[in-house]
Amino acid sequence: MKQTNLVENIVSVLKEFKPADKDFIALHEPSFQGNEWNYVKECLDTGWVSSVGKFVDQFEEMLREYTGVKRAVAVVNGTAALHICLKLVGVERNDEVLLPALTFIATANAISYIGAVPHFVDSSLETLGLDPKKLGEYLQEIAEVKNGVCYNKQTGRRIKAVVPMHTFGHPVDLDVLVEVCERFKIELIEDAAESLGSFYKGRHTGNWGRVSALSFNGNKITTTGGGGAILTNDEELGRWAKHLTTTAKVPHKWEFVHDEIGYNYRLPNINAALGCAQLEKMPDFLKQKRVLAKLYQEAFSKVAGVSFFTEPNFAVSNYWLNVIRLSPEWSHLRKEILQASNDQGLMTRPVWKLLCDLPMYEGAPKMDLSVARELEDSIINIPSSPYLGAAYA
């Protein structure tokens, strides 16, 4: 097969999904087809647009019910949610926190906000996320547990937590990861920023970590414009999360008393109003996105040299961002494919650069990252907006 044929074939498949009335298809556009205007207008009409209002409480309750957790706390963005999650489980300065090298920068940045040290681990070809089996083998070599605390034998630092990210909505193998965490006495925090609507063995992501984080950025499956949430099944941690993220203010009609260092991570009511309307449409979004994923899978099965990534057999994924992978012999064409597709008004994107290769994290500890590097070279994200599947749903 000629190089030009593969580039042309991939672009040709993507063009099949481009509506005739659109010059450009974004990677993931928000969809506002429900009560968004009504709820936001209510905020404007009543004046409840800031950090207090009925939609904040309603949004938290809707998240709690949808995900099945005991407590959901809405915050200003997903990075803030991760930051507080780390504090809630006791991560401190100079602790090491395990995370995939192949993840969005927010995962590592939140660790840095604490003053902790990111420790990068490899990914799985099955899930695109952290590989728990390989992590367990790695910890067997470099870690030791003393008096119920895990230490890195090479650095002497405490290994306090692990933060798997459910990449593009595909859950990691959580049962295996939970076993690794229990064996090495490490706290589990799920970075579920991309996996609202994804289920692992019938249960929503975010239920395995002691705490978990969601994101509602403008490109997520549901959006509040900007926003995030902390999920937990620990009622006490849930109360503390709410307290910390609302400036640690002690409730009183007029007094300003704050009993610890808190954070102004409150989600405004007007953003929560948008989120409530979006959550009402979640069944439609998920249906449309799964239809689109199925169509992509069928279309790319006819193109040699590329494969469409599908959910692992233990999960039902939200297919937030669809993924194609180039075969190793064709990975050198990735830049050319990105250029050709974007030139045709079809937004495609490479996966993130491995975080350990960024200047601020070059000296951080890391394990063998051979799979992560293979994924970095081969992944292309393709247009994934729900409306692309709506016509076929």
Please give the chain's pLDDT, 393 residues, in tens. 566 699 999 999 999 999 999 999 999 999 999 999 999 999 999 999 998 899 999 999 999 999 999 999 999 999 999 999 999 999 999 999 999 999 999 999 999 999 999 999 999 999 999 999 999 999 999 999 999 999 999 999 999 999 999 999 999 999 999 999 999 999 999 999 999 999 999 999 999 999 999 999 999 999 999 999 999 999 999 999 999 999 999 999 999 999 999 999 999 999 999 999 999 999 999 999 999 999 999 999 999 999 999 999 999 999 999 999 999 999 999 999 999 999 999 999 999 999 999 999 999 999 999 999 999 999 999 999 999 998 886
If DSSP codes are grouped into helix, strand and coil, which group holds residue 233? coil
Sequence-distant (6+) residues with CB within 8 A of 241 are 71, 73, 84, 88, 211, 230, 232
Sequence-distant (6+) residues with CB within 8 A of 285 are 31, 197, 221, 222, 386
CB atoms within 10 A of CB 11: 17
What is the distance between the alpha carbons of residues 353 and 120, in angstroms, rounded to a whole number? 13
84: Cα separation from own chain's centroid: 16
**36-280 to CATH, choices 3.40.1160.10, 3.40.640.10, 3.40.80.10, 3.30.110.40:** 3.40.640.10
Task: Locate all alpha helices (DSSP H) within 166-249, ordered by sequence.
Answer: 174-184, 235-245
Q: In what order do the strands lie in the sheet with 315-316?
A: 203-204, 199-200, 315-316
E strand map for 111-153 = 117-121, 143-146, 149-152
Sequence-distant (6+) residues with CB within 8 A of 133 are 173, 176
Going by DSSP bridges, is the β-strand pair 322-326/306-308 parallel, antiparallel, or unpaired? antiparallel
Which uninterrupted H or E stretch holds 389? helix 387-390
Domain chopping of the chain, boundaries = 3-33+282-390, 36-280
Between vectors from CA 136 to CA 134 and to CA 140, what angle results, nearest 5°? 115
197: left (phi over 0), alpha (psi -120 to 50) or beta: left
Topology (CATH) of 3-33+282-390: Aspartate Aminotransferase, domain 1 (3.90.1150)
Report yes or no: 75 and 265 within 8 Å, Cβ to Cβ.
Answer: yes
